[in-house]
């Protein structure tokens, strides 16, 4: 393009002279592994020097080298082992279990310890046998509970359309895929999500020398990693937060538990995992198996009429019907006869009662076109309670006129223009204040009547819209 120059990339001669292995992007897992090997080698060397110092009688050198060996081994264990464990592919880990000790389990373990101490003090073989049997019961309990939780599938069923503030029914399905073995005492429960806190994470970086110079004048540039604190993203709220209990699930069977759910706020809700828990067979531990579950639902705004709805609906209805009156099959009103009226529309009963000609006026069904416009404000323009009331009012008006069989269309910033009530409710469920162009300027004057929810000043609204629109201002002044 004329007038546009793109400067070629400048590569320092020092960087071109680097060996090929320094220019390679080494995967982080290999870096961690090599650092762990180096740390363990240093810890082993410190342990060897500690042994030599102890044999030579040097107490301080023995203490220093032993402390270094222990410290290096601890650092490697805390930084490398958990990372390598998380690197294991999820498909290779068949089950992931959580363990919670119950009150019965604590009492049982204390009893085992007391009997074990008594056996050691007395040397009684019968007490040793009792302790061994009690320890075997703990082992059998863990194996049996793990076997019960395997080959179980869970599913969460929800209705397609959900409104905030309205209770609805759902279901949890538990399926036992085993052919012969039943499942006992299974609880399906929600697993708490992580909070939005900060955590340490390795971030890509470069090791440059000298550090104070510009990038083109540095002698050495090597790909590096730096450990930094980054905030965790707060996940959407979960769908299911309670629990459902199944005392017995036969083999090759599917059982369901009815749920009554209710969401107080609009928005997106997700459920990425559930827990299958059991205390079978001895209730020493509650073992929980985490099950992946990809489930998402969009909760529409409440369509229960707010106070503003009852204030504006009569006015909207009157202006809307006045805008659309004409010839049709729905009676609009009985009025005085005009010279241009047809004689076939004369209401003879009303004429006989009043003594003057009366005609029937109808509203045209084909002209009952209504457009609902949600002019989304910028952040900070409208207080949050007023904004939520405006969203709820828009949803209530759209739902009301959709049930009245009016021909609806919708307009809003970043809305794709689909004239479907559920698509518009989905938009309202997820909308947030955003800096975008106002849709009022793009509204064309047509045979549609407009209901416009906006926060713009009255003076900035085009005069032509006042004759075919009803305005609801988000500050609560229609």
Average pLDDT of 386-400? Answer: 88
First to last CA, the chain: 52
Angle, helices 384-403/307-324, rounded to nearest 10 degrees: 50
Q: Is the pLDDT of residue 251 over 60?
A: yes
Q: Tell me the mean pLDDT in the region 289-293.
A: 86
CB 474 within 8 A of CB 390: yes
- Residue 144's pLDDT band, with cuts at 50, 70 and 90, is confident
CA distance 73 to 47: 10
Residue 138: pLDDT band with limits 50, 70, 90 = confident
Q: What are phi and psi of 257, to 5 degrees?
A: -125, 125
DSSP string, 240-294: --SEEEEEEE-TTEEEEEEEEE--SS-EEEEEEEEEEEE-TTTSSEEEEEEEEEE
Q: Does 105 have pLDDT greater than 80? A: yes
The sign of the dihedral angle between the CA atoms of 57, 61, 67, 73 is negative
With a pLDDT cut of 90, the percent of the chain lying above it is 6
- Asked whether residue 422 carries a pLDDT value surpassing 80, the answer given is yes
- Domains in the chain: boundaries: 27-89, 90-193+235-300, 307-325+367-473, 328-363
61 — pLDDT class (breaks 50, 70, 90): confident
Report, in this order, helix, strand and coil percent for the chain, each rounded to 5.
Answer: 40, 30, 35
Q: What is the pLDDT of residues 116-132, one digit of tens each?
A: 888 877 778 888 888 88
**If DSSP codes are grouped into helix, strand and coil, which group holds residue 90?**
helix
Give the mean model confidence (pLDDT) for residues 138-156: 87
| Mean pLDDT value across residues 317-326 | 59
- For the domain made up of 90-193+235-300, the CATH class stated in words is mainly beta
Cα 143 from Cα 145, distance rounded (Å): 6
Give the burial class of 464: count Cβ atoms within 10 A of its Cβ; 0-12 exposed, 13-18 middle, 19 or more buried: exposed
Q: Provide, rounded to the nearest whole percent, the portion of the chain with pLDDT above 70.
A: 75
What is the token pair recorded at 217? 């004048």
* Of residues 425, 469, 427, 476, the one with CA closest to residue 455: 476
Gap between the Cα atoms of 320 and 315, Å rounded:
8
Task: Please tell me which of 37-41, 278-282, 344-348 the model is most confident about, judged by mean pLDDT.
Answer: 278-282
């Amino acid at each position: 393009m004329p007038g546009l120059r793109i400067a070629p990339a400048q590569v320092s001669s020092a960087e071109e002279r680097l060996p090929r292995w320094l220019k390679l992007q080494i995967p982080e897992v290999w870096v961690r592994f090599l650092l762990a090997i180096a740390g363990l080698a240093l810890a082993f060397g410190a342990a060897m020097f500690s042994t030599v110092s102890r044999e030579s009688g040097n107490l301080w050198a023995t203490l220093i080298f032993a402390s270094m060996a222990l410290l290096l081994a601890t650092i490697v264990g805390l930084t490398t082992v958990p990372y390598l464990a998380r690197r294991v592919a999820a498909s290779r880990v068949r089950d992931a279990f959580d363990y919670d000790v119950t009150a019965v389990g604590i009492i049982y373990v204390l009893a085992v310890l007391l009997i074990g101490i008594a056996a050691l003090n007395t040397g009684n073989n019968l007490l040793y046998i009792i302790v061994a049997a009690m320890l075997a019961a703990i082992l059998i309990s863990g194996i049996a509970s793990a076997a019960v939780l395997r080959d179980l599938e869970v599913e969460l069923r929800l209705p397609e359309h959900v409104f905030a503030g309205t209770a609805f029914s759902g279901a949890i399905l538990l399926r036992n895929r085993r052919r012969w073995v039943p499942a006992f005492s299974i609880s399906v429960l929600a697993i708490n999500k992580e909070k939005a806190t900060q955590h340490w994470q390795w971030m890509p970086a470069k090791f440059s020398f000298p550090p104070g110079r510009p990038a083109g004048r540095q002698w050495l540039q090597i790909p590096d990693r730096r450990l930094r604190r980054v905030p965790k993203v707060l996940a959407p709220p979960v769908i299911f937060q309670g629990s459902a209990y199944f005392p017995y699930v036969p083999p090759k069977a599917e059982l369901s538990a009815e749920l009554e759910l209710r969401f107080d706020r609009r928005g997106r809700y997700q459920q990425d995992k559930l827990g299958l828990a059991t205390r079978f067979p001895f209730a020493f531990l509650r073992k929980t198996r985490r099950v992946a579950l990809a489930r998402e639902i969009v909760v529409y705004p409440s369509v229960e009429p707010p106070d503003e709805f009852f204030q504006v609906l009569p006015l909207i209805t009157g202006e809307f019907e006045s805008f659309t009156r004409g010839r049709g099959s729905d009676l609009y009103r009985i009025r005085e006869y005009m010279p241009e009226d047809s004689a076939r529309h004369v209401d003879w009963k009303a004429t006989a009662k009043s003594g003057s000609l009366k005609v029937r006026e109808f509203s045209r069904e084909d002209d009952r076109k209504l457009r609902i416009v949600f002019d989304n404000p910028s952040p900070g323009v409208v207080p949050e309670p007023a904004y939520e009331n405006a969203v709820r009012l828009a949803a209530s008006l759209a739902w009301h006129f959709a049930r009245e069989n009016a021909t609806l269309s919708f307009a809003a910033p970043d809305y794709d223009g689909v004239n479907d009530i559920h698509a518009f409710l989905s938009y309202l469920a997820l909308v947030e204040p955003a800096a975008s162009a106002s849709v009022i300027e793009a509204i064309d004057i047509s045979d549609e009547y407009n209901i416009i929810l906006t926060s713009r000043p009255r003076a900035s609204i085009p005069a032509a819209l006042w004759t075919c629109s009803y305005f609801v201002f988000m500050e609560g002044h229609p």
